[in-house]
Structure formats: C-alpha cells, structure tokens
A and B are shown apart, each in its own frame.
Chain A
Amino acid sequence: MLSVQNTDAPVTFTPELLGKFAEIVARYPEGKQKSALLPILHLVQAEFGWVSAPAMDKVAEYLNIQPIEVYEVATFYTMYFLKPQGKYMLEVCRTGPCEIVGATPIMEHIEKTLGVKEGDVTPDGLFSWRGVECLAACGYGPVLQIGPEYTFYENLTTESVDKLISDLKGKANN
C-alpha cells in the first residue's frame, strides 16, 4: 500500500525553487497558502525525481501546515512518486479506448525491452514504467507520457517505442 518513504539524503530547496514557491503562493488569498500544495509538490518532484518524507516535511514547514496534511495529499494523488524512479518514467495509458487499440501489447513490449517489471527501475537508473489511467488522449492511442515535462507520445507502435527508448538513452549519455 501507499506509504511515505524516509531517506537520509538531505533536502535543500534552492533559492530558485523557493522563488517559484513564492510565485505560486501569491496566486491565492491571504491565509489560503495551502492551495499551493499540489503545484509545489510537482515542483519538488521535478527537482528531486520523487517526494521523500523529509521533502514533504520541508514543504509543510514552508506552507505553515502540518506534515500529515502534505502526506495525505501526496498519497491520494497518483502523480506523486513516493519512492525513487528511473530518470525517465514511461507512463502508458491502459484505460478502455487505449486498450482497444493496443495498450497491453505496448506495455508488454516495454517490460520486455527494459527487462524490469512495472514500478521497478532499470539497473542503470534510467528507466521505469507503469500503466496509468486515462490520459485524455483517446483519439491518438496508445499513448504514453514522460514527466516532469509530461511530454506526450501518441499512436505508439513497438517500433516507435524502441526508437523512443534508444533516443532517451542517447540523451542521457550525452
């Protein structure tokens, strides 16, 4: 089940990141800074690759709310990674419309190509993958997305997935 994972790695928010936090908090009325929680967690995940317990504690401190208020949000929403993932997390839509145009064979192909099960990380730390629910791109299925930019790859075939994986490997090694 979902749980908050601790880590010994120290968490520091750079001044640049804190600047982005402040920009977000300014969008809401005085005293309603908790509204910034979801956007800030996205920024934290983009920076560190996942949201650890110490990071969540620091977010709580920043927003002047209780840590549990951050944990309950991070564990409710599916986009927040509660443990480290590969540098590239391939999230394949597995819901009805994508399924009937071949999402399952795409996921099987990714599993075979990467050699890791859903949710696991490749030994080189580059990739993980998982099936996710409807991504609102049903006319272009099968689709996958890769965070933190959430770039979309549409009308997937095994060939286009192979090319994507090799492109990402090339990008990471440069």
Chain B
Amino acid sequence: MGRKLLLEHINVPGINTFDVYRSKGGYASVEKALKTLSPDDVVEEVKKSGLRGRGGAGFPTGMKWSFLAKPEGVPRYLVCNGDESEPGTFKDRYLMTHIPHLLIEGMIVASYALGANTSYIYLRGEMMPQIRILERAIAEAKNAGFLGNNILGTGYDLELYVQPGGGAYICGEETALLESLEGKRGNPRIKPPFPAIAGLYGCPTVVNNVESIAAVVPIINHGGDEYAKIGIGRSTGTKLISAGGNLKRPGVYEIELGVTVEDFIYGDDYCQGIANGKRLKAVVAGGSSVPILPANLILKTINNEARLMTYESLSDGGFATGTMLGSGGFIAYDEDQCIVRNTWNFARFYHHESCGQCSPCREGTGWMEKVLHRLEFGHGKMSDMDLLVDVSKKIEGNTICPLGDAAAWPVASAIRHFRDEFEWHVTNPSVAITSNYGLAHYADPLPVLEKAEA
C-alpha cells in the first residue's frame, strides 16, 4: 500500500465536518501559506512538486499558474473544474462527498497564490448532493475565519462560491466551462487568448481540476520537493484512480504513480482481479476518450516491460500500442464484453455531447454512431471499418476543442486492436446479435487466480 496524501483520513468518522477535519491537521496549509509564504513562494512549491493537471491533459499545474497575467487593477479568478463527466471517472465526486474540506483548503491556498479574491467551484449540475455538501463546508470554514475578509488576520480576502452546470460533458473543457459560468451555452472558445490572459469575464483566470487543487494541500504541507519524491520521473505524487467495469472491487484508489497495471488490477490492495472469476479482455485506462487496449498490451508494453500507472508508461508505444493516463478513469472489460457494442456506446455518447459548433465533430460523431450501430445490429459491411477510421481521422485535430479527438480515439483504437471482432460482426450478423466474440487472442496472459469462489 503506498502513501496516502489525499485520502489519508477518508475513513475517520465525521471527517466531512470542519471540527474533525481540523483536528486531523486540516487547514494547516492555509496557515503556512498565508502566514509564512508569499504567493510566488506557493507557486514555486507547486512547480517543484511536478504536479500535473489531474483532469486529463496532464499539463504541469505550477507552469499553468505562472502563465497567469497580472495586469494592475484587474481581478483574477481561480475556477475549480468539478464537471467530472468523462465516462469512467468518478474520483472527484468521491473526494468532494467524503472530504469536502480538502478541496476548500486547496482552493484557499491556490487562490492566495494566484491573487484571486473571488473563486468559483463549478460542479456538474447532477452533483446537487455534492453542491450541498460543499456549501455547508464553505459556511463552516467561513465561520472559523478561513474564508471571507482578512483571513486569519493576514489581510487576505477570499469569497468562494459553488456553481452548478446544467448537464453537458463539454463543460469539462475549460473555456466551455467559463462560458457556462457566464450563463451561456457551453461552446468552447477559440484559443488564443488562453484563460490565463482572458478567462472569466475577460479577466485572467486559472481553471484547475478538483484533484489538482486538493493536491496543493499536501504539497504545501510537506514541500514540493518531498511531493516530487513520490512517483517515477515526470509522474510525481499520488493519483486518484476511478476503477470501474468488471472488477472484483471497483472504487476510488489513491495510488503512488508507478504501481504496475498488473498490481492495480489483481493486487489485494487494489481491485483484486476480475469479477466472477472471468478473464480480462480489454482496458480503457484513462476515461472513455483514451485508446482502448487489449489485455496483453495493457499489462505489458510492446517491449515486454511491465506497464506502470504513470503518464509515460501508459503512453509508451504511442497510439499504435499504448494509451494515456488521462483522468484516471480505469474501466476493465471481461471476456463477455463486446468491443463493437462498447465502441458504439461511446460513439453515441460523443455524438450526444458534441456542442455542435464545429462541423467535423457535429457531423462526424453522428456518422460514426450510425455506422457502429449498423455493425452492432447486424447490418454492417466489410468496408465500414475503413470508413470509420477515415471519418475519425477527419475529426481528429480539426475542431476547436479536444472533444473531436476524444470522440475519434476510442473508435480508431477499437478498430486498430479488435478489427477481427468487427469483421466477425459483419460475417456473422445474426450470431453477433445474440452472442459475443469472446476473449479471442486478446487473452489476458496471466493465469486466472483460482480462489475459493463458486
């Protein structure tokens, strides 16, 4: 079991309340930062930590902060991205539900570092229970003098508000999120200008994922250098992984970056293997947008090295044989799952969630959904696979925001690695409706752990 920096106290009864959280050392980073560090010192610590954005893109958080423009007399904003809509990802919901003060604490320190006096936590509208939890936590923190005017007598003022979205995946994209926060449709903006120059209300703005902001707390408490000692290479610190699908023990795990994928799936500290004694067929390692990999390629790289849960190892081999850590939405598929059906399901999702602003995405996602639907339901043609790859290539890179890429990658990767399963759907249309292709040669190379389970 690795170190826990975010979820260390998650099982302490009442940790969702201010008093218990405080008694476990909560808000120490606010005292340390506001009383002993300058805003630039805080940014420096975060840079040293090597923390990379936990929402999916993996961009270094400290560097993002250092890009923030600071024109005289113009307010700056910190906006927390709690839109969490990437299929497979549910870590932020977990964190906010069980340990809301960790996010509030991180928001105070990060806002101080950026010189923001009003900050917003944008949550997807479906998270009304979490909005209520956070609003109560904010009231508690304010009551204790950690929010509002003249925090801890340091002269620093901060107001913190929670904003609900309206149900739109696209609002996880930072400029769409800002549009939504301004009360508009969630259409991503053309960049540049980047939010660091012109973000919320045209003012300099930083948008960070919930987990990234929470990670600022241990970074300030222990120092950026200490944080950077955890992990491997440029994958520093701990990461929350949302484990779902056909796993024996799905849930949210805080891992030290660098555990092996094999240990994460089969280890006793983590998911404990595939549910119901089945075998692993495929994995989507970082949320639905990242390329799906067959079991043999997720456990070992093409060079036969053990694959690790790090940004670099998961992307080893590029898209030909690798994938991405993404948001850490880890979905495992057992031998009974149909890759064609799953790809159709994801394509429908992206078609549904495309904002409609760019033609390649608006039209292309619809066509991919249609073609995949006919493949899944027994009306496919042998030429459909090349057609899908062709459409996906015409979306990828040709849109304002990365939703187009996110829609293209799962389709292209499914055909790349599971083409024979797609072809089987074309040659055996009636069989494909009632049964699945099975494990085929994507076999999980590990022996199934035989435990006393009926």
CB distance from B349 to the nearest CB of A (A): 5
Contact B168 A136 (CB under 8 A): no
Contact of A151 among B129, B163, B331 (CB under 8 A): B129
**A78, B168: Cβ atoms closer than 8 Å:** yes
Size of B's binding interface in residues, CB under 8 A = 57
Query: Please, which residue of chain B has its CB at the minimum distance from the CB of A74?
Result: B166
Which B147-164 residues have a C-beta within 8 angstroms of A?
159, 161, 163-164
Is the beta-carbon distance between B165 and A138 smaller than 8 angstroms?
no
A167 is an interface residue with CB less than 8 A from chain B: no
A39–B182 CA distance with the chains assembled, in angstroms: 11
Q: Which residue of A lies closest to B356 (CB)?
A: A76
Contact indicator B164/A139 (Cβ below 8 Å): no
Nearest CB of chain A from residue B121's CB, rounded to whole Å: 11
Known A-B contacts A27-B161, A35-B181, A76-B186; A96 and B246 likewise in contact (beta carbons under 8 Å): no
A96/B168 in contact, CB under 8 A: no
**Shortest distance from the beta carbon of B331 to any chain A beta carbon, whole Å:** 5
B167 partner residues in chain A, CB cutoff 8 A = 77-80, 132
Instruction: Decide: A134 near B161, CB < 8 A? Known: A76-B186, A97-B331.
Output: no
The majority secondary structure among interface residues of chain B is mixed
* Bound: A126/B183 CA distance, A: 31
Enumerate chain A residues within 8 angstroms of B88, measured Cβ to Cβ.
Answer: 96-97, 134, 138
B243 within 8 Å of A (CB atoms): yes
In the complex, chain A residues 44-88 whose Cβ is within 8 Å of any chain B Cβ: 63, 65, 69, 72-73, 76-80
CA distance A138 to B330 in the complex (A): 10
Name the A residues within 8 Å of B120 (CB-CB).
27
Closest 8 CB pairs of A and B: A77-B166, A138-B244, A79-B167, A37-B183, A34-B183, A78-B167, A139-B250, A150-B128
Contact sample, A vs B, 14 pairs, CB 8 Å cutoff: A29-B201, A35-B181, A65-B183, A73-B166, A76-B186, A77-B165, A77-B167, A97-B87, A99-B342, A134-B86, A134-B169, A137-B93, A139-B250, A152-B129
Q: Using CB atoms and an 8 Å cutoff, list the residues of chain A in contact with chain B.
A: 27, 29, 32, 34-39, 41-42, 63, 65, 69, 72-73, 76-80, 94-97, 99-101, 132-141, 145, 147-152
